[in-house]
Each structure stands twice: as C-alpha cells, then as structure tokens.
Amino acid sequence: MDDLVRALKRHPGPSVLLYALLFRVVHHLLRRLPLPKVVQHSEWRSWRWRNLSVSMVHSLLTGPWAVACVLIWPETLHNLHSFHTPLSYLLVCVSTGYFVQDAGDIILSGHARGSWEFLLHHVLVISCFLYTLYTELYVAGAVVALFVEVNSVTLHLRLMLKLAERQSSTVYQVNKFTNLLTYVAFRLSTQFYLTWYIAHNYSWLNHGGYFLACIMAMNIMILIYFYRLLRADLFAGKKSSARQNGTQNSKKFLTD
C-alpha cells in the first residue's frame, strides 16, 4: 500500500487518469447488464441509467471508505488541513478519477447542456481534489467531503427507480425517506462542518479564499437540490403526482 501511494504521489495527474480509465472499464462492463424495458426505449434514459450505475459503484466504494478512514484515524476529522494516511490519499485519487470519467462521459455523450449542474459540481470537485493530490494538503478535508457519497447511494437509487417508473413501489417509498435522512446526516451536516472549518480557520489556511468560494457554491447547489427533494417527495401536489404516474416524462423530472 505504501509503495503504491508513493508512486501515486510522484505522478498525481497520470494516476488520476488511470483511475478514470478503470471507471470507464466499469462503465463498459455495466453495459452488458440488461436494462428495464421502459429505459430501453429511450436513448436518453438508457444513457442516464448507465451513467447512474457507474456513479452507484463509485458511491458504494468511496462512501464507506471515507467513513472507515475517519473511524480508524479520528484525527482525519479534526485536522482537515494537513493530516492524511496512505489509504486516505488513495481514496481521493480514486474518487478524482471517477469525477474526471463522469465529466468526460457527460460531455462526449452530448448531454452537457442538460447536465450542466453536474458538470459545474464536477469542475469544482476536480479542481479541489487535484490541488489536494499535488500539494498533499486538505486530504483529510477531501475524505470528509466524501461522506456525501453515503447519501449518493440513496440518491442514485431514487433516480434509477424514477427512470424505471417505479415510484409506486415499496422500495421507492422506503428509499424516499431513507434518502432524506441520509441527505441531512451525510450531506448537509458534512457541508456545514466543512464550511465551519474553512471559515473558522480562514486566516491561516492555504488558499482559504478559493476553498471557501468553492464550498459556498456547492452549499447553494446542495440547498437547492434539497428543496427540490422536499418538494417532489414530501410536498408533491397533483401535478407532481401526475408526473410520478408517468404522464410526464421530461428530462427535468428525471433529474429532480
């Protein structure tokens, strides 16, 4: 492990590209799995399903990995600026590779305009993570930021069930409330802690202004999406019910 991470630290850029390629291999392997019938008949739904499938693999891998790093090394949570271990550095490298792959998938598939929010998020994450990998600073911060991937598991499942038009299923109903709980516990709480840490230590942090700007931009995006979740899953009116019953199938609906 130590030898691997030392090699990654010597060549962070190529290492990220290597993991991006590995996630692309995962993408091609998942293409062999059958698609739900309702998804098969739409080119956009088919692409979105496969894109979410790769995202699910990333979340299932990195979410528990990030939590384990904090449980094993509690200093990760308290020293976001300079503490890291070989395992946490590897986690950030792997995750950066995924975001590069996903951004490439969105752009090369021709869905950049409809997925601009995801691209903006990915640009912010990639820039911060690459800084982390090259400077070996804020590795612990990146690990804590990846707590959000625990919630991403339920977010991706929610969107995949909507793509398959399974909103009336028991799985969707259970996941709907689980998703809201994990959104608060792992996404909103994580963002609040990262924002507090950067703002509280702003005076001495390296490039604190840039990271504060990035975290504030992501905070706005996360709060907007949380509002959409509440509106769609808890306060849905007749129009939302009609959409959930499949009478409207806009791309906007499938990304809410």
> pLDDT per residue over 61-95, tens digit each?
999 999 999 999 999 999 999 999 999 999 999 99
Q: What pTM was computed for the model?
A: 0.91
Report the C-alpha dihedral over residues 88, 93, 99, 105, rounded to 10 degrees: -140
The pLDDT of residue 3 is above 70:
yes
| 194 contact partners, CB below 8 Å, separation of at least 6 | 80, 141, 144, 145, 215
Lowest mean pLDDT among 132-141, 148-157, 244-253: 244-253
The pLDDT of residue 255: 52
Give dist(CA 102, CA 20) in Å, integer. 8
The pLDDT of residue 152: 97
The whole domain housing 220 covers 2-255
The pLDDT of residue 144 is above 90:
yes
Total domains in the chain come to 1
CA nearest to 24, candidates 126, 104, 138, 116 = 104
| 107 contact partners, CB below 8 Å, separation of at least 6 | 119
Q: How many contiguous H segments (helices) and E segments (strands) does the chain have? A: 14, 0
